[in-house]
Structure 1
């Protein structure tokens, strides 16, 4: 019974350690190794649009895949990640009311990684990708009525 108990505890601790570690992907860009993750503790996944439009889109999935579309172009599959340390800790630059990350992406079928800015503005509850693509996040339970506009 003691052996079974210690085996179960060992399996539980091991599984907890594996789950707690962030998934880190290593890429090469201009002969330098960079690390990226898809988990930064914020709701990054979603659809990013130019405000007031429905197309073109950038769709980011939590698993590191997505869809990338430029103006008047077809949608292309991509893989993505946000720059982090080799331990999986996201690297960002804190601003007055924002946090700026480096967003890496690669269109499937191409060999070139591209990077751009990913900005989180908590006071506005918005996330910006490539400067002009935006996604709202936060408490979606508040319903706007015509009187509140």
Structure 2
């Protein structure tokens, strides 16, 4: 059992609000109709244990959560361990890349708005997608239906 709360009726989102992506994210997540827990790392930094759990869930390393171009005086050829990367993240929250979304047992690291929509498998209006192989009902269901 992990230290991060997981509920299929709630979306937990770990993000930084300084980027344009971070500013748009909450609006997209609200479209899901689920309860939201937005964790802005500029205000509340997850614990090292929570970061480790997220990295394990995502089958990745902590360093993949960082955008090194946003860290001053950073030599990208330097070798660090997971604790070093956590210290770098704590001191440079603006370097956090994208967001991590948790819903029930599903955890994703996303970096674009398109990935948010794919996470829910819905279009921008949160309507389930239909494939071209599904039959579409084009018959009137009542006299008030008006098809062009």
State whether TM-score is above 0.5. Answer: no
Question: Larger helix proportion, structure 1 or 2?
Answer: 2
TM-score (norm 2): 0.25
Instruction: Normalising by structure 1, report the TM-score.
Output: 0.25
